[in-house]
Chains A and B, each alone.
Chain A
Amino acid sequence: MAGRLSWPVAVAAGIALAVLVLPPAALVLRAPWADLPELLARESVIQALVLSFATATLATAICLVLGVPLAALLARAADWPTLPRRVLRAAVTVPLVLPPVVGGIAMLLLLGRRGPIGRLLEEWFGVTVPFTTGAVVLAQVFVSLPFLVFAVEGALRSADRRTELAAATLGASRWQVFRFVTLPLVAPGVAAGAVLCFTRALGEFGATITFAGSLPGVTRTLPIASYLAMQSDPDEAIALALLLLAVSVIVLLGLRDRWLPGVRA
């Protein structure tokens, strides 16, 4: 790629960059900075903030517990026959390509009162899932799990298995191999996956509003609160949006070169 870009390429690249950068810039410029402390101190805002961070944190924890083993399975599947390997990979990819609203409707059909699992839960335990805080967490887990799984799988694959063999020839027991070699080698991937998973869960909107609704303090998360406020009180909506933007920027700066392959300078 030596030499200068031809002008059509340069112009198109410039427009693309503007598409990416101008909207967040407008948000920052148009923000009601003076009123921000008052806006952020509002009951409705704090409620949404607390709910969002609590549910996204719980969703991330669940993704870690379930996703790391799934990533291990996926990494192991490299030696499987083609068909089951592709089916497995496609299954993990579904939430990435599926519109979140579709995911929400699907979860409603599965876990709603008349759904195959939802009916059993209600009959056996008297539990209804949809339109609860639990439904918020489930929706977040559904959309964010692939981020964690693929990040950890990548780390597991790139960790040279022979380093584990080398450790064994140097006297390391199986546990020591895991503790001193495998874990330190995959930890950055697990951390990166958890952070991506958390941000995706925090931003979840479509599946949440479909499956969990918008009950203040129960299922009304930051993105939903922001969307609703836009109709009645744009300043509050902007304040909420700014909060979400701030989290994204912090994550971007934190992950920068080490873990996000696309953001390596």
Chain B
Amino acid sequence: MTDAAARPDAAGPRPALHADVVVSRGDLEIAAAFDVVPRHPLAVIGPNGAGKSSVLSAIAGLVPLESGRVRIGTRTLDGLPPERRRIGLVFQDYVLFPHLTVRDNVAFATRMRGGRTAARAAADPWLERYGLAPLAGRYPAELSGGQAQRVALARALAAEPEVLLLDEPMSALDVEVRAEMRTELATHVREFGGATVLVTHSPADAAALADSVLVLEAGRVTQRGTLDELRAAPATPYVERMLAASAD
């Protein structure tokens, strides 16, 4: 456990994520294997119900693996509870703590490791960086979608995760602010600099936020590559439709 306070600019060399997960959700068995290196975010894309979020939950340790394994660098995560994995997860609708202020949401991870006063102070640089300082005293119910997303991201990154997982980060936002928030999120993901996986069903999100794409359909990986590679040779009708729809 490092005692150095988490700082937004404290980026050292970051490990890669190696995921090989098999999980079941109801009748669906989901299997996906991929490596993600730092600074080259991966977008997991697919239709609703394909099992994208389950893959993230499995990596974060929130649902048990049927088989497979997850490693960060040389560290094996098998059997580790979520709180010891050092994986940041931004939920689809952010799931902020409704009873805590913005400051205490962002300070949460530091608070779990030490005293309240120190945690609140450690939250300051994060609040500054994400433009949240003026909102520090507000509660989640008083935030706009974009503001809530910033809090969720700051809260996850203040925990100093080695890997960042984003579950449909744009879907809870109003259409008008999506483009702007997408650009902002891309900046923050770049600054984070660690291995990042994002789940989405939007090629626009994938294009803005990720270097490569993994397509998941009904629990199976059907294609992987860059968006250009997908466009050049779509492997399934879904990939074709998805790329065509985004061209509009």
Contact = CB atoms under 8 A, between A and B. Distances in A.
Given A162-B91, A163-B98, A184-B99, A168 B113 contact: no
Interface in B47-67: 60-62
A185 B98 contact: yes
Given A171-B159, A173-B83, A166 B89 contact: yes
B111 A168 contact: no
B32 interface: no
A165 B82 CA distance: 8
A172 interface: yes
Contact of B82 (A169, A176, A180, A181): A169
Interface string B88-127: 1101000111110000000011011100000000000000
B88 A168 contact: no
B60 A170 contact: no
B111 A162 contact: no
Interface string B180-215: 000000000000000000000000000000000000
A232 B113 CA distance: 67
A176 B62 CA distance: 16
A167 interface: yes
Give the interface size class of chain B. Answer: 20 to 34
Given A171-B109, A171-B112, A172-B112, A166 B88 contact: no
A180 B112 CA distance: 9
Main secondary structure of the interface of A (DSSP, over half): helix
Contacts of A176: 112
A35 interface: no
A166 B97 contact: yes
A18 to B, nearest CB: 38
Contacts of A168: 61-62, 81-83
Contacts of A166: 89, 91, 95-97
B155 interface: yes
Interface in A155-189: 160, 162-163, 165-173, 176, 180-181, 184-185
A165 B97 CA distance: 11
A180 to B, nearest CB: 7
A146 B96 CA distance: 31
Nearest to A187: B99
B118 to A, nearest CB: 15
Contacts of B98: 163, 185
Contact of B95 (A163, A172, A185): A163
A169 B83 contact: yes
Given A170-B155, A185-B98, A165 B62 contact: yes
26 contacts: A163-B95, A165-B62, A166-B89, A166-B95, A166-B96, A166-B97, A167-B97, A168-B62, A168-B83, A169-B62, A169-B83, A169-B85, A169-B88, A169-B89, A169-B156, A170-B83, A170-B88, A170-B112, A170-B155, A170-B156, A171-B84, A171-B159, A173-B112, A176-B112, A180-B108, A181-B97
Closest 5 CB pairs of A and B: A168-B82, A170-B109, A169-B89, A166-B95, A171-B112
